[in-house]
Structure 1
Amino acid sequence: MPQKDLVEGGYVSINGSDYYIELFGRSRADATFNCELKNMTLVSFYDTSEWQNIREWLVFNGYEFYWFWTSAIRHKNSITWIWESNGELVTGFYWGFGQPDIPQGESETYMYFRPWSGGWDDGDSPNLSLSSICEYE
């Protein structure tokens, strides 16, 4: 049972960083827009500790089976992943088992994750209805 009800969204502090987490599923464009309304961006993981801290917090609070968007994207005909929120290259990867599984350059590809699986996943549909984590950039 989740420790904090975040279906309609809520602000949380994880190891000194503030986030807005919403479990209500949205397309990637809607999740991005929802973050922008709060002067925030979809989450980007710049180092292992941020990824681990958020993942552990979600698992500890009972949200391990939800899927969450990130700001990472690999554009069509590209082999490079970037954090769309600021244009920086994704330099560390924490892929889940068997991921990524969409061939490079084939289509626009988005990165999301489920804490329970322990790693990132890639998908080519921005219209999936996933939860979101917003952060201050």
Structure 2
Amino acid sequence: MSANREGMHNNLIDEPDNDYSIPEVQYSVFKNAGGKSGQRFYQEPFKVATACLTAFCLILLMILVVTSIHSGKGRSSDQDSLSSASETHMQTVCANVTALTEELLTVKKEKSELERERSQLKDKITRLEATPAPCTTPAPTKSPCPEDWKLFNGSCYYISVFGRSWSDSQKYCKKNGGNLAIIHTAEEQTFIWDLLPRGHWNAYWFGINDEKVEDDWYWVDGTKLVGGFWEDGEPNNHINEDCGYIIKTDVLSRVAVKSWYDAPCHMSLPWICEKTTEST
């Protein structure tokens, strides 16, 4: 190997470069470095470099290990922090879910109670609708007629229950502010006739007579009769019959507008009085 080097140097010397020359000192160094001692001297820097590189690698390895350990600790700390935060978040979520569940149960309970109350109200309404409303009788208005007198078209009518002659009946009516009934319309005739009870021959005096002139009938107020509601064949003056009366029998075919008869004025019959509400 030394020989090769020397040959290499010789070649360099033999073919010098005009622009480059090796100093004399460098040659002498390589020259003196021959043999085993020179070889050891030449190898020493490589050993030092290798040792340095090895030490450097060890130092780098230690640095990496330490960094890895610290990094692992950091990651572990981060993971612990993340795990702790996740656990806290999970606990919060669970608490919220529990609260919402309890609130939902409360709402369901309130809904159930409201539905029960609604059902009860519907049943109550159904019962009330099915129950007939109580009949409310309006307060009776005070009649302008005295007791036992009946009102019709501004006049009061009284039906007696005992009998007198025609003239005594008229006196009774005048004493009570009226006269024996004076009947001008079919409506009035029907109203009075409906007040009378049915019987075998129920007869009632009313305010007409022909005592002055036969077949010339006048009302008690002095007005002349026009028309009237005589039964067929009446008046007939059978036995000096000068006063008029109304009959109502059990025969249902009889009607109100054909119910007048004439009879002797001294007969004792019930009567019908009439007076206006003003006179009352």
What band does the TM-score fall into relative to the shorter chain?
0.7 to 0.9
**Distance in 2 separating the partners of 1:77 and 1:71:** 16
Partner of 1:47: 185
- Judged with a 3 Å threshold, the aligned counterparts in structure 2 of structure 1 residues 32 and 50 are, in CA distance, closer, same or farther, namely same
**Structure that is richer in helix per residue:** 2
Alpha-carbon offset, residue 64 of structure 1:
2.4
Does structure 1 conserve the Cα–Cα contact (< 8 Å) formed by 2:241 and 2:262?
no
Partner of 1:81: 217
Partner of 1:136: 275
Residues 88-107 of structure 1 correspond to what in structure 2 (within 5 A)?
88-102=223-237, 107=240
2:246 is aligned, of 113, 118, 121, to: 113
CA RMSD of aligned residues (A): 2.3
Alpha-carbon offset, residue 67 of structure 1:
0.8
2:160 is aligned, of 5, 22, 39, to: 22
Does structure 2 conserve the Cα–Cα contact (< 8 Å) formed by 1:23 and 1:130?
no
Residue correspondences, number? 121
**What SS does structure 1 have at the residue aligned with 2:230?**
coil
Alpha-carbon offset, residue 115 of structure 1:
2.5
**Distance in 1 separating the partners of 2:162 and 2:184:** 25
Residues 33-72 of structure 1 correspond to what in structure 2 (within 5 A)?
33-58=171-196, 63-65=197-199, 66-72=202-208
Alpha-carbon offset, residue 133 of structure 1:
0.9
Q: Please, what TM-score do these two structures have when normalized by structure 2? A: 0.39
Alpha-carbon offset, residue 10 of structure 1:
2.8
**What SS does structure 1 have at the residue aligned with 2:267?**
coil
Alpha-carbon offset, residue 14 of structure 1:
4.1
* Residues 32-51 of structure 1, C-alpha deviations (whole Å, 9 max, x = no match): 11111101100111111111
Does structure 1 conserve the Cα–Cα contact (< 8 Å) formed by 2:165 and 2:266?
yes
**What SS does structure 1 have at the residue aligned with 2:149?**
strand
**Distance in 1 separating the partners of 2:214 and 2:195:** 33
If you compute each CA radius of gyration, which structure gives the higher value, 1 or 2? 2
Alpha-carbon offset, residue 71 of structure 1:
1.0
- Judged with a 3 Å threshold, the aligned counterparts in structure 2 of structure 1 residues 78 and 100 are, in CA distance, closer, same or farther, namely closer
Query: Any stretches of 5+ residues in structure 2 without a counterpart?
Result: 1-146
**Structure that is richer in strand per residue:** 1
Query: Any stretches of 5+ residues in structure 1 without a counterpart?
Result: 1-8
Q: Please, what TM-score do these two structures have when normalized by structure 1? A: 0.76
